[in-house]
């Protein structure tokens, strides 16, 4: 039976692997061995739905792990209420299925899996609220230390270079300690399945992107932070090399990330303002005295440190402000439609239709949905389409939690993001923000090395997605047809060579 070791690097980007490849010998070797490289993320490519799909092999409409407020909730029902982040269910992940099939497993630091639950081996998870560790079996709790990433506190809000320097080195130290514990446990037993997730790379890219991207409007010029991201990729490469050296020669090594990373857009498309002009979005009557000046339907953003920590799961998430107009400026009860930004500050979003209000006005839900879809695709700026695509939710995904998704899903052009202002032009430029300058993009990484007994089993037209990872891992472990996945295994056993 094949032994499988998986390293998950949150936010590792396929394009950056190509750029930095000559300085990354171990990852470069994997890239040359692997039949795959790019891994298409979920829609949206956000932490919770994307990693949820990678772990379970299910699409977001089937696993229901969403980072935005479910759209089947009553308007205003969650206003001002902090909620726990969604969590995985024991028994639904690839490591649970392997464990239930008798495989010995060691799983360290998966998202969404706190507290750890019993498995046939070891499972360790960190709390998204305070970083505390949970591990099963409990007897390991006193002997193992797996540090959570350091918290930004108030330092990143000022983003002084000295403070960023100290924070960078703390992240490096944390990563080295996490990798050391992973290596120790990897060598403790010949696990059938070993999985270690490192989440610090994503934080590095969020904070330091504009320092290394000369085309970013927020690029500050030459500085000591110019090579921070590249240096951290070299650290990841070092970890890959150490793990590979500790594995038996026949073991399969995977490197995965559920999404990539790119530059944060400064161009905003204010689609709620467009809906207001179409008569589909209503502003609260008590806010009409503000019409003489632009305003945002979102309250002032959380302090940047909290925003980033919530994104990487180090503190309890508040519901994303873009999913509810907490300031009360948008009248959700009387609006027919409103736009949500999905997946952070990026190009993915959704349109939520108010079915009750549509029915009260004697209008047809499906006709309005089709009309909006067509009108949004016609939106232009200087002759250029603003949206890449707009689709009905059932055209994107199918599943038991489909009603939690917006009625329409869409993606703007890659250099655009969803704006939240009203009474402004459709397209606006936002002042450069220097604190969080990197955002998720949809192309993650899927590398598989040392395939001695397996070969690719996928057509050229098949888009390799995060949902394919779980069934592929189980196929390598010799576990087939245990559950129904939305993804498919990408490998098959090589045909036996005929005897001479």
For the chain, the structural domain boundaries read: 4-263+439-493, 267-435
Please state, in angstroms and rounded to a whole number, the distance separating the CA atoms of residues 112 and 109.
9
Distance of CA 423 to the CA centre of its chain: 32
What is the per-residue pLDDT for 132? Answer: 93
Calculate the CA dihedral of residues 273, 49, 60, 404 and round it to 10 degrees: -40
Nearest 5°: the CA angle 157, 162, 163 is 35
* Owner of token pair 């330092």: 155
**Beta bridge mates, 256:** 8, 446
Instruction: Enter the tokens of residue 135.
Output: 């591990």
Please state, in angstroms and rounded to a whole number, the distance separating the CA atoms of residues 465 and 448.
14
What is the per-residue pLDDT for 422? Answer: 92
**Contact assessment for residue 37 and residue 31, using Cβ atoms and an 8 Å cutoff:** yes
What's the pLDDT tens digit per position in 448-460? 999 888 888 876 6
**Contact assessment for residue 395 and residue 245, using Cβ atoms and an 8 Å cutoff:** no
What is the per-residue pLDDT for 239? Answer: 98
What is the per-residue pLDDT for 452? Answer: 84
Question: Which parts of the chain sit beneath pLDDT 50?
Answer: 74-82, 156-157, 297-309, 312-327
**Contact assessment for residue 193 and residue 473, using Cβ atoms and an 8 Å cutoff:** yes
35 CB-near residues (< 8 Å, 6+ apart): 448, 451, 455, 456, 490
DSSP at 465: B
What is the per-residue pLDDT for 41? Answer: 97
User: Which of helix, strand or coil describes residue 407?
Assistant: coil
User: Which of helix, strand or coil describes residue 344?
Assistant: coil
**Contact assessment for residue 74 and residue 276, using Cβ atoms and an 8 Å cutoff:** no
Written out in words, the top-level CATH class of the domain with range 4-263+439-493 is alpha beta
What is the per-residue pLDDT for 343? Answer: 76
| Pairing of the two strands 416-418 and 267-269 | parallel
């Amino acid at each position: 039976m094949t032994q499988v070791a998986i390293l998950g690097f949150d936010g590792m980007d396929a394009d950056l692997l190509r750029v930095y490849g000559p300085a990354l010998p171990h990852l470069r070797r994997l890239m040359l061995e692997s039949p795959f490289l790019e891994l298409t993320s979920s829609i949206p490519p956000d932490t919770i739905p994307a990693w949820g799909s990678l772990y379970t092999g299910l699409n977001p409409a089937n696993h229901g792990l969403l980072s935005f407020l479910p759209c089947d909730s009553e308007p205003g029902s969650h206003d001002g209420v902090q909620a726990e982040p969604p969590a995985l269910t024991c028994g639904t992940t690839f490591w649970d299925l392997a464990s239930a099939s008798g495989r010995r497993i060691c799983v360290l630091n998966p998202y969404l899996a706190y507290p750890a639950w019993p498995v046939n081996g070891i499972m360790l998870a960190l709390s998204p609220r305070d970083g505390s560790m949970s591990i099963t079996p409990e007897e390991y709790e006193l002997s193992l230390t797996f540090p959570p990433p350091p918290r930004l506190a108030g330092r990143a809000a000022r983003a002084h270079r000295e403070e960023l320097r100290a924070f960078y080195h703390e992240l490096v130290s944390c990563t080295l300690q996490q990798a050391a514990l992973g290596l120790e446990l990897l060598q403790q037993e010949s696990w059938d399945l070993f999985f270690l997730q490192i989440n610090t790379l994503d934080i590095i890219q969020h904070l330091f992107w504009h320092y290394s991207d000369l085309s970013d409007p927020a690029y500050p010029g030459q500085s000591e932070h110019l090579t921070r991201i590249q240096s951290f990729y070299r650290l990841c490469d070092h970890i890959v090399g150490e793990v590979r050296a500790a594995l038996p020669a026949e073991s399969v090594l995977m490197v995965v990330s559920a999404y990539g990373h790119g530059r944060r857009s400064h161009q905003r498309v204010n689609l709620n303002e467009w809906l207001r002009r179409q008569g589909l979005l209503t502003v609260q009557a008590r806010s009409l005295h503000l019409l003489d000046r632009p305003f945002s339907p979102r309250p002032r953003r959380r302090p940047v440190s909290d925003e980033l920590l919530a994104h990487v799961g180090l503190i309890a998430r508040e519901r994303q402000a873009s999913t509810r107009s907490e300031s009360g400026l948008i009248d959700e009860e009387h609006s027919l439609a409103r736009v949500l930004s999905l997946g952070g500050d990026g190009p993915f979003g959704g349109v939520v239709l108010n079915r009750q209000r549509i029915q009260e006005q004697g209008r047809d839900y499906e006709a309005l949905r089709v009309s909006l879809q067509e009108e949004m695709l016609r939106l232009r700026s200087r002759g250029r389409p603003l949206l890449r695509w707009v689709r009905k939710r059932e055209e994107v995904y199918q599943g038991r939690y489909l009603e939690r998704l917006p009625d329409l899903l869409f993606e703007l052009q890659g250099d655009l993001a969803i704006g939240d202002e009203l009474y402004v032009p459709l397209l606006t430029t936002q002042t450069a923000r220097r604190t969080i300058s990197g955002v998720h993009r949809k192309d993650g990484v899927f590398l598989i090395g040392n395939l001695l007994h397996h070969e690719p089993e996928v057509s050229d037209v098949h888009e390799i997605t995060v949902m394919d990872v779980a069934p592929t891992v189980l196929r390598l472990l010799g576990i087939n047809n245990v559950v129904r996945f939305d993804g498919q295994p990408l490998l098959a056993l090589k045909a036996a060579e005929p005897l001479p």
